[in-house]
């Protein structure tokens, strides 16, 4: 892959990976080794979290189309070796409380095999990105709003843990901010009335609204 042409994107937006629409890859050990190494790359490259999570789901039985996706990630890495996380100093001052910001998003029903959605969350302490992850949701969502709300609940859970850590260390911080790009999800978070269409996710509703 050293002489391969670099890619400007780590995964095509229209490319959907499945467990059936390709021939089996004849060297699954090599596939597992490469994908396992890519897991280490996500420690300093949050932009790879989603694509590595996608190819990781086929470790049990990798196909040729999965290897094509892995090669594209490697080509993207080759062209972006200078990218990384830049950390800036943060002053712990009671007059200037630290800002905690979390961003959440979801990809609705992208898995063609089980139609489960994928959530991803990242959390900033001041200007610094300190935690991020991408994972498949445990249940199937019947709407994009439900998918986004599950991600919002996970983001709230993550930021509550950081708040408790700051409280133990006596570090002042402002009221956390969670950013979500789904208007229905934001409206449901503020609406005190539960509708029939949202009763199946009311636990997440009460959790986020309470926090």
In this structure, the strands spanning 100-107 and 118-125 are antiparallel
Looking at the chain, which runs of residues are DSSP E strands? 100-107, 118-125, 128-136, 177-180
- pLDDT at residue 33 greater than cutoff 80: yes
pTM for the structure as a whole: 0.76
**What pLDDT is recorded for position 117?**
85
**What pLDDT is recorded for position 201?**
66
**What pLDDT is recorded for position 200?**
58
**What pLDDT is recorded for position 202?**
64
Burial (Cβ within 10 Å: 0-12, 13-18, ≥19) of residue 57: middle
- pLDDT at residue 102 greater than cutoff 90: yes
Mean pLDDT taken over the chain: 84
Average the pLDDT over 42-52 and give the result: 89
Is the Cβ–Cβ distance between 100 and 155 less than 8 Å? no
Average the pLDDT over 28-46 and give the result: 92
Q: Positive or negative CA dihedral for 203, 204, 210, 211?
A: positive
Average the pLDDT over 184-191 and give the result: 76
pLDDT band at residue 194 using 50, 70 and 90 as cut-offs: low
Query: Which DSSP state fits 96?
Result: B
- pLDDT at residue 132 greater than cutoff 60: yes
Tens digits of residue pLDDT in 138-183: 878 777 888 888 888 889 999 999 999 998 988 888 899 999 888 8
Tens digits of residue pLDDT in 12-21: 776 778 888 7
Average the pLDDT over 77-101 and give the result: 84
Domains and CATH numbers, the chain: 1-85 (no CATH), 100-210 (3.30.420.10)
């Amino acid at each position: 892959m050293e002489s391969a042409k670099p890619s400007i994107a780590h995964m095509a937006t229209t490319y959907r990976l499945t467990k059936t629409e390709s021939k089996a890859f004849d060297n699954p050990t090599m596939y597992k080794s490469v994908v396992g190494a890519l897991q280490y790359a996500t420690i300093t490259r949050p932009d790879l979290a989603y694509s590595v999570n996608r190819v990781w789901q086929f470790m049990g039985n990798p196909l040729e189309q999965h290897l094509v996706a892995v090669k594209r990630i490697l080509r993207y890495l080759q062209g972006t070796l200078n990218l990384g996380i830049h950390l800036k100093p943060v002053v712990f001052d009671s007059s200037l409380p630290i800002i905690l910001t979390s961003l959440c998003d979801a990809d609705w029903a992208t898995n063609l095999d089980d139609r489960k959605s994928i959530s991803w969350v990242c959390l900033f302490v001041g200007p610094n990105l300190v935690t991020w992850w991408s994972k498949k949701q445990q249940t199937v969502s019947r709407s994009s709003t439900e998918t986004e709300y599950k991600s919002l609940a996970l983001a709230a859970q993550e930021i509550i843990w950081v708040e408790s850590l700051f409280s133990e260390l006596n570090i002042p911080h402002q009221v956390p901010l969670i950013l979500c790009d789904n208007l229905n999800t934001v409206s449901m978070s503020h609406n005190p009335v539960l509708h029939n269409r949202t009763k199946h996710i009311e636990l997440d509703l009460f959790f986020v609204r309470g926090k």
